[in-house]
Amino acid sequence: MLTHTVPTPLTEFLWNLFIGTALVITLYTCNFYYLVFLARQKKKTKSVELKEVPTVTIQLPIYNEKYVAARLVNAVCAQDYPKEKMCIQVLDDSDDDTYEILEGLVNDYKKKGFDIMHVTRTDRKGYKAGALRNAMRFAKGEFVAIFDADFIPPAWFMRKALSYFCKPEIGLVQCRWGHVNERYSALTMAQALSLDFHFLIEQKAKSNSHLFMNFNGTAGVWRRECIEDSGGWHTATLVEDLDLSYRAQMKGWKCVFIPDIVVDAELPVQMNAAKRQQFRWAKGSIQCAIKLLGDVAIKRIPIETKIQAFVQLTRHIAFPLMLMQFLILPVLLASKINLYIVSGLPAITVLAYLAMGPFVYIMIIRDLYHASWRSKVLSYFYMVFYSAGMAVNNTVAVFDALFGKKNEFLRTPKFGIVNKTDDWRDKAYALPFTKTTLLEIFFGVYGVVGIFIAIFSENPLFAPIIGIQTTGFFYIAYLSISHSASRKGKSRNMAVPSGTQRMANNYYKFAMGGIMGLIVLGVVMAFEEYSTTIYPLDQARGLLSRIQATSDPQSIHNEIEAVKTLLPASGNPVWIFPTEETDFGKMQRDLSYMLGTVDKISTTSGDSAAFHAGMLNVHGEATALVFNLLDATPYMYVSISNMLFGCIWVAVIIGIFAVLKRKRERLRAYDVEDN
């Protein structure tokens, strides 16, 4: 039978924190549903036929993209647009083979009559934003189009995109991203659906209204006057696109999104690359919030626009809130706190979760994709685990931004992956897993413990909720490690000795085996610790609750004896500022006193005053012990032995990281010697 207890001061604080974070997350979720409503409004952006073909500057910011750079330049030069009206700027900050590839390609197109220049810099000051700002000095014409290295604009792009500048206040035309390799893996399918939600719901809703939308950094065309009037490209944040588009709209410029113009791009196929991209977006958004929200607040713009700007710029705060909930939930379940929306009706809670999540999203998918919606439902479930697992990575990014850590624009490497049979593991740019993976493993192990707590605390309906995030953490951590494996063989530009290659692969296999072994060990140890220290306290509380509800001396005697065997004979789990209420020795003495009282009143009549007084005393003692155990239980999780084991566990994983780092540096040394 499911029983609930009155919260102690600690659990009450955690409960209030849990509900507060849930409320904030729910508000962000409801805002997304509001944007879904706006996106469904039928409003078509007007376009006009170009009577005169305007001159347009096409900027291609590139840094170490030898697998995709030529593809981009060829696609731009294949535009169905007069080449004398295109000023193509290849903004190349590369320090690898990409430079030679682009140098030769630019020279070839110059010979064919294209106005194309290979713009290089002596340093990467300002990164992408710095390159764009530097190139504006050489820009020609009224418009500036921008494409990242992994994009493939269709031949008709320029004519169609420019036709939407039909009003002088339109400063930006943002086009939709397509996905050239969406079906490559579960990872790319999850990213594709997430991006489709962004464009077809968020961008469309904001473009259809007076809300601020953002430039996505690529596949868009700016009015040059708009860039200059808004202050140009700033380098203070990692998302110069979001920064400029907000400054432009606060100046009165209009940004529009055109869903019918789709520019295919390559999705990251390596987990560590996807995490880097998500990290940059999350950190950059919070940086923009810090930089711009003050101006948004004082500008004379509609209140709804202000609210939506706040939501968009701060929405990544939801990730640390999700982690906070994830950490608190098992503690509340272990403390027997009622978490159901309607007390005694767990089904209502489950239905509420389903209604706010899968049911609504599947309806949205059906509305967006029509006949092909069923194939997208699988992508949705991939996206759920992907988004849940990314909470650690994006939380680190949020705190990175809040504490003002120095910016470094780390690009998302691409490998020219288009077909499902393409392989990227033998190519350069593959990223190793980072220390964030250690945190993901920790949260995964903690989630497994949380699932057991949900089951043993008679709250099994919460186990799937914890399980989704737990699976996500393990999924992200596993791919982070497995996608870090050494290259299978020699690339064209490397000659790593075969013995060294085999050694590198062996070390990565050792890392995988060691970390998986640590995960299993952590789960087994956590389950063993819970079953021997926490679960007996839960059982003791249950027996004490039964004592409170009965007046049978013999039953009470037997249950007190059982409680005495379940509780430690002595000790105090509160090792910082301990109190008598959490001292197990005192609890044992109180139980012995209760036994004496029960034995005395068992010989008296049940109708006597002595019996009733003694029973009230026993019930009061039982109630006090329940509260004492509630106070003691949370500290059992952070006992000295648990903390010591956790430190050893973390130290071993850090040791594995250190070994891999040394081996990676050794391989890089071979690369340097070979070059």
316-346 pLDDT tens trace: 999 999 999 999 988 888 777 767 655 545 5
Rounded distance, CA 423 to CA 417, Å?
7
Looking at 79-88, 471-480, 506-515, 523-532, which range is the least confident one?
A: 506-515
Query: pLDDT at position 458, please?
Result: 76
- Does residue 263 sit in helix, strand or coil? strand
Of 463-472, 607-616, 625-634, least confident by mean pLDDT is: 625-634
C-alpha span between 450 and 192 (Å, rounded):
31
For the chain, give every residue range classified as CATH 1.20.120: 528-642
In this predicted structure, which of 5-14, 200-209, 317-326, 558-567 has the lowest mean pLDDT?
5-14
Give dist(CA 432, CA 413) in Å, integer.
12
Cα-Cα-Cα-Cα torsion 325, 294, 258, 316, nearest 10 degrees, comes to -10
pLDDT band at 387 (very low <50, low <70, confident <90, very high): very high
- Give 48 or 36, the one with higher predicted confidence: 36
User: 516 pLDDT exceeds 80?
Assistant: no
What is 528-642's CATH number, 1.20.120, 3.40.50, 2.60.40, 1.10.1200?
1.20.120
Given pLDDT bands bounded at 50, 70 and 90, which one contains residue 491? very low
Residues marked as catalytic = 93, 241
- For the residues 357-365, what does the mean pLDDT come to? 87
3-state SS of 43-100?
A: CCCCCCCCCCCCCEEEEEEECCCCCCHHHHHHHHHCCCCCHHHEEEEEEECCCCCHHH
Does residue 268 have a pLDDT over 90? Answer: yes
Q: Could you tell me which of 454, 458, 467 has the C-alpha nearest to residue 330? A: 454
Q: What are phi and psi of 231, to 5 degrees?
A: 100, 5
Min mean pLDDT across 129-143, 177-191, 207-221, 610-624 is at: 610-624
The per-residue pLDDT for 653 is 67
473 pLDDT higher than 80 = yes
CA-closest candidate to residue 74, choices 88, 64, 61: 88
Q: Could you give the count of Cα atoms lying within 13 Å of 370 in the half-sphere of its Cβ?
A: 0
Give the strands of the sheet with 170-179, arranged side by side: 115-120, 86-92, 56-62, 143-146, 220-223, 170-179, 254-265, 151-152
- Report the percent of the chain where pLDDT is more than 70: 85
CATH 3.90.550.10 domain residues, the chain:
43-270
The domain 43-270: what is its CATH number?
Answer: 3.90.550.10
Mean pLDDT computed over 646-652: 71
Give pLDDT, residue 376.
92
pLDDT at 4 over 90: no
Per-residue pLDDT tens over the stretch 105-161 = 999 999 999 999 999 998 889 999 999 999 999 999 999 999 999 999 999 999 999
Partner residues linked to 60 by β-bridges = 90
Cβ neighbors of 170 (< 8 A, separation 6 or more) are: 164, 223, 253, 254, 255, 256
Specify the pLDDT at position 489: 41
| Element (DSSP H or E) covering residue 439 | helix 436-456
Is 4 in contact with 337 (CB distance < 8 Å)?
yes
Output the average pLDDT for the chain.
Answer: 86
pLDDT of residue 490: 39
Report the alpha-carbon distance of residue 263 to residue 178 in Å, rounded: 5
Contact 582, 631 (CB under 8 A): yes
